[in-house]
């Protein structure tokens, strides 16, 4: 469950060219779990006061990049279009002032364990 919360997309709104009096973007999101299929979490974000072009980005840990962007599926925005620019970064155009972003976060397979951190022992 901790991984699901770590996988939440953080909206990085790059408001280049907007006037100083522009309103701040407002973000509301919901997480939906389907008891019949626990292999993913459905996230819906409603965002207001958007610029015409902005970016959605995932936070990377400065020491270890676990590539959590790989677990993102079916990223959509209505209205507008989303294009992946690089790992963990998407460019959104044509969203209008208000938009709804939907995506799924795929959970690890059942029984699939992985080492989160290994100690480094020197000789």
What is the mean predicted confidence (pLDDT) over 97-122? 73
Q: Do β-strands 89-93 and 37-48 pair in parallel, antiparallel, or remain unpaired?
A: unpaired
Nearest CA to 55 among 18, 88, 23?
Answer: 88
Q: Output the pLDDT for position 65.
A: 66
Q: What would be the CATH architecture of the domain defined by 2-17+29-106?
A: Sandwich (2.60)
User: Measured at the alpha carbon of residue 101, what is the angle toward residues 95 and 103, in degrees to the nearest 5?
Assistant: 145
Q: Summarize pLDDT for 27-81 with one digit per residue, the tens.
A: 999 999 989 988 899 999 999 999 989 999 888 777 776 777 888 899 999 999 9
Torsion of CA 121, 123, 62, 108, to 10 degrees: -40
Q: Report residue 29: phi and psi, to 5°.
A: -135, 155
Q: Taking the domains of the chain in order of start, what are their residue ranges? A: 2-17+29-106
């Amino acid at each position: 469950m901790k991984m699901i919360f770590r996988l939440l997309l953080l909206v990085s709104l790059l408001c280049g060219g907007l006037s100083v009096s522009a309103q701040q973007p407002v973000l509301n999101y919901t997480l939906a779990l389907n008891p019949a299929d626990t292999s993913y979490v459905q996230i819906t974000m409603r965002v207001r006061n958007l610029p015409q072009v902005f970016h959605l980005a995932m936070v990377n840990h400065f020491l270890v990049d676990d590539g959590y962007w790989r677990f993102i599926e079916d990223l959509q925005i209505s209205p507008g279009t989303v294009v992946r620019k690089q790992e963990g970064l998407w460019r959104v155009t044509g969203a209008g002032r208000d938009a709804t972003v939907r995506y799924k976060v795929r959970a690890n397979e059942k029984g699939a364990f992985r080492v989160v951190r290994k100690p480094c022992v020197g000789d």
